[in-house]
Each structure stands twice: as C-alpha cells, then as structure tokens.
A and B are shown apart, each in its own frame.
Chain A
C-alpha cells in the first residue's frame, strides 16, 4: 500500500465534471483506490462518495492505493488530482 497527499488547485473545487474524469481514470486501475480528506475516507471508484467529501480549492487530499499497479496509479491519479483543471 502507498499513499501521498496532494493540494487541489482548481478554483471551483471538485464538482461533477472533474469528479467524473477522476473516477473514470480510477476505474482503469485494478488496485483499490481510496481518497480521504479531513479524516473521512471514501472509495475512489464511487463518484457519489467522492462528491460527499466536498473538495474545494487548496484542500489537502490524501490518495491511498493498494494492489496491482499501485505505483503507476499513485503517479497518474496524483497528477490528475493536481492538474485536472489546467487542461
């Protein structure tokens, strides 16, 4: 298992569209992915649960990956978390 903390840059936080992009990407990895903020941890494969974290700009979010391809998942998903909105 590996984990790392990232800071959200998007000024309008983590809404339907970015959540969709993120969750779809999570779905391409075989490993378990969870996302936590402020002590609350949710399944990274559920957009509904992701929304309940209410992620906003400058929030610190921890990504936890466990299983096959975890290294690659951490790298790609972390980059997505930080830069998803700069595209």
Chain B
C-alpha cells in the first residue's frame, strides 16, 4: 500500500505523474553586509526592481489573456507595490544611509510589513502579506541572478508540490507539463484554488506539511475530486487510477460536445436549460457551461455588504450589462428577495420571531415601495438591452401580484412620459414558493406570463421544516409526494392558460428529480452553471413521452424513498 494524504478538493480531476517539489524563493535569508559602493548598490537594486516590473507586466498580460481581467488585477496590485515609497524608496534610503547591501535591506523592510500584515485579524489583509512575499521574492531573485521559483524550468510532465503557490506561480503554470498541483496550505477560496478552477487543472490544497516531504521524482497519484493523494503508489493502484482517469476524461469530452447543443429529450422534445446567477462575475460560468439563458438572477447581492441602498443608476448598469451579454438569450431577473435569513443592516427592520414567515421578499417590497419602485425603474430602463423577464418572489395571494404589477405599470408610465423607451412585451412572472401559490396556481396563472418554482422554499414551507435546522433536515424531501403533487398542480394550471413553467431551486439540477419533472411537462430548468452539462446529458437519454406515462404512478406513491427507487430502476434501463 502506498502512503495516502487527504487535502481539500480545490479543483476536480485525476492526475498521475512524478512529483516536482517547488522550493520557495523566499526561504532565502540574506546576510547583513556593508556594500562596497552605495551608489553601485542602489543602481543594482533599481535594476532588479525594473526587471521585476517587466516580468510582472508580462505575467499580467499573460494572465489577462488566459484567465481574464479580474484575475490579472492581482498583478496590478503587485506592480503598485513597486511604486510604493515606503517599500522601494525605503530600501534605497536604507542602502544610502546605512551603507548596507540591497538584499539585506529589502529583506528587512519587506519582513516588517509581512509581520504586521500576517498578524492582522482580517483575512483579506493577511492575504496581502502573500503579495508582499511574492513581490519581494521576485526582486530578490533578480538581485541574486537566479530565476524566481523554478516553475519556468519545468519541461516534463509532473505534479507540482509546494507549500503554497503564489498568484504569479499559478499564472505561469505551463499546463502542457504541470498536470496538477498539491499544496500544504490553502483553502477552497485561496488564490491558487480559484485560479486552478479557472484553468481547469486538478488541484488539492491544504494537504498539510506531510505533502512537503514528497521528494521530486516520487510517483504521485492525485484524485482531486476526492482530495486524496497517493504517494509512491503500487502498480495496481496506478493501473486502477489510469482507468478512472480515462473514464473521467472521456466523460468530460462527452459533456463538452453538448456545450452548444440544444437540450433535447430522447424523443426529441426541447426543454430549456438555464443558469442561476448571483452576480455579474457568474456570467463567465454561464457561457463556459452552455446555458440557454438565465433562469434566476438574484439581485440581493446588489444590496448586501454595503452601507446604503444601491441607486437606480447603479442597478441599471448591472442589469443592462447582464442583458446585453446574454442577448438574445432570456434573462429572468428576480426582484429584491430580502428578509428571512438575508438581512440588510442599514434597513434597520424590526426583529421578528419568525423571520421566514415574516416581512420578506415581495411583502417587504410592497411595504417599502420606494425601494421597490427604484428597482422596477432600473429594470424597465435596462429592458431595452436584451430579453428581460421580471419575476416577483414569494407571492402568496392575488392581491400581492396585482399590487406588484400595478407598481410596475405606474413606473412604466412615468418612464414613457419621460421619453425613455420601454418595450411593450416584457414578460412578468412569479415564483411559486408558498403552498398557497401552488394551490392557487389556477387563478394566478391567468394574470402572469410564467411561473418559476422555487423548490428550496416550497419544500421548507410545505413540510413546515426550517431548511437550516439540522434536527429536522430529514424533512427536506424534494421528491416527497406532497411536494411533487404541488409541482404537478402548478404545471397543469399553467398549461391550461398557455403559460410556461420553470424551476429555479436546487431540485432542478437533481438527477432523480429531472426525469419526473420532464415527464410532468416542466419547460425550463434553471440550476447552478456547473450542473448544466450533466443535466443535458441525462435529458438526452430520457424520453419525455415515456416519463409522462409514469406521472400518475409516481404521484400515487407514498414516500420519497419509494419514488427515488422507482426513478433509479427506470433510469438504469433507460441508460442501458
């Protein structure tokens, strides 16, 4: 048996290769020495800084081309450090005044900053210490005439082992040779983990100091989907992982083929696969995974983590950006869904004893109309730039729907008077999250253009079980007959009025639920972007007509367990 290590699965995939141990340049500790000629020493330092700057410029451009502008910002911060008077100028002054060698002064001044920043009780500030280390290591290597890190020198396939990878290390990885990496420290959200996912290279972080003992040349197997590292594996283990890797890679290639294809069931019927997003940054994943639209754009992020409400203009810019990027694909934007577990401290709302049953979502918007009107205006103004559909969350009764639509009409009227173009045909829909809305779907359907079923809340309210409460988590059953009957009722009601129905809760991406929902006639499935290709692959194998035939049988079953068993059995024969 080989040695086994476990770390955090930061970016999925399997890699098998010899280890390449990266020695961090910042291990070097210079000796204090008097410079022979301070003038020459200062020039030597300036030259090192210039070389570091050139190198950073190149890496910044490379990163922007390969990973995108947002990630390249890290290197702008590095470049800015090279302009910092308390860093670069301070080293020069130190050399001139004390007559010391450049390496020593650089190390001393950088360390004073690294120490203070590393001790901060704020994670974002502690991360800046890594930037100072990275830049210092780069200048230091120029002074010493050695190449910074050895990443550039790698010229054969390997798995990189390092204490941690600096942002510049990750950006320089040559993916023809580096098949994956394992680091001793780090979390799922550290720079290296985020970059690894963007580059789609298998990565395990936080594997502990034992990872540091892996010597260059040792055979290593990493299963980054599970976070396990095998050191010096046996021949059988290597063979086993080679076949697993083959299967994994084949599956990925198969899924990639579906990227730009429409989502068709086995009997050729089209459904729409859309993505849920929470911010503009998520758009990249929407495109990378071939979504046919956005089925849920949560606008809460615009309001959270700040000290005041976002202005109409600010909201308009965000909505316009998303609509333009997605055009002509549809974008369903949900109006503010705050309250319950999502608070806005600056709104200073009174505390409620049952926040999930209290003043949240549409209820809050109808009681604070100014906030709601501002958002509606921003949405209406942005609607000229793409295929906008507006969705109201948590509607329970007809009065709420009518009041929300009334406000929308009033704002539309004002805009038209102001001479702002607003398209006539913006679709307006509601989320079905409250059992009352599901049971009343027949009359609600007459006054909307679409429904989107929000299963996370619908299940919670149907089962009367707080989904955050561990002790009742067994009641969170997406495929419980009660939930399925409500969903079925909603789809039928919409069908009778000629309206479309989507689903934007977790359930829409659930492998067991998809065939049932397909059979019931759901039109649109909206899920996290990474679930889209697997869902498209599954739908391809499932016949809608056949599953429509199972609907009554499923609805007559008495437990989730029984229903799940039934789906599994049928799927197995479908996939054979």
A residues whose Cβ falls under 8 Å from a Cβ of B: 9-13, 15-16, 20, 23, 42-43, 45-49, 51-52, 54, 56-57, 85-86
Contacts and interface: CB of A to CB of B under 8 A. Distances in A.
Interface stretch (B12-20, B304-312, B442-450): B304-312
B40 interface: no
B79 to A, nearest CB: 11
Interface of B: 77, 80-81, 84-87, 113, 116-117, 120-122, 124-125, 128, 132, 305-308, 345
A51 B77 contact: no
A48 B122 contact: no
Contacts of A49: 84, 86
B460 to A, nearest CB: 28
Contacts of A12: 124, 305
A85 to B, nearest CB: 7
B87 to A, nearest CB: 5
A16 B77 contact: yes
A46 B77 contact: no
B122 A46 contact: no
A9 B80 contact: no
A43 B86 contact: yes
A52 B116 contact: yes
A52 B125 CA distance: 8
A52 B115 CA distance: 10
A48 B135 CA distance: 12
Contacts of B305: 11-12
Nearest to B127: A16
B271 to A, nearest CB: 41
B117 A52 contact: yes
B73 to A, nearest CB: 9
B106 to A, nearest CB: 13
A15 B81 contact: no
A20 B80 contact: yes
A55 to B, nearest CB: 10
A2 B307 CA distance: 29
A26 B576 CA distance: 68
B70 to A, nearest CB: 12
Given A15-B125, A43-B86, A56-B122, A51 B117 contact: yes
A29 to B, nearest CB: 14
B113 A52 contact: yes
Contacts of A42: 86
A48 B113 contact: yes
B124 A46 contact: no
Contacts of B345: 11
Contacts of A57: 307
Ordered nearest first, which 4 A-B pairs have the shortest CB separation?
A46-B86, A49-B86, A52-B116, A15-B124
Given A9-B307, A11-B305, A86-B307, A51 B125 contact: yes
A23 B308 CA distance: 24
B78 to A, nearest CB: 11
B128 A86 contact: no
Question: Which residue, of A15, A45, A48, A56, has the highest number of chain B Cβ atoms within 10 A?
Answer: A48
30 contacts: A11-B345, A13-B122, A15-B124, A16-B77, A16-B124, A16-B128, A23-B80, A42-B86, A43-B85, A45-B85, A46-B84, A46-B85, A48-B81, A48-B86, A48-B87, A48-B113, A48-B132, A49-B84, A49-B86, A51-B117, A51-B125, A51-B128, A52-B116, A52-B117, A54-B122, A54-B125, A56-B122, A85-B307, A86-B306, A86-B308
A43 B113 CA distance: 14
Nearest to A57: B307
B307 A10 contact: yes
B128 to A, nearest CB: 6
A48 B486 CA distance: 57
Contacts of B125: 15, 51, 54
Contacts of A46: 84-87
Contacts of A16: 77, 124, 128
B128 A11 contact: no
Contacts of B80: 20, 23, 47
A56 B120 CA distance: 12
Contacts of B124: 12, 15-16
B191 to A, nearest CB: 12
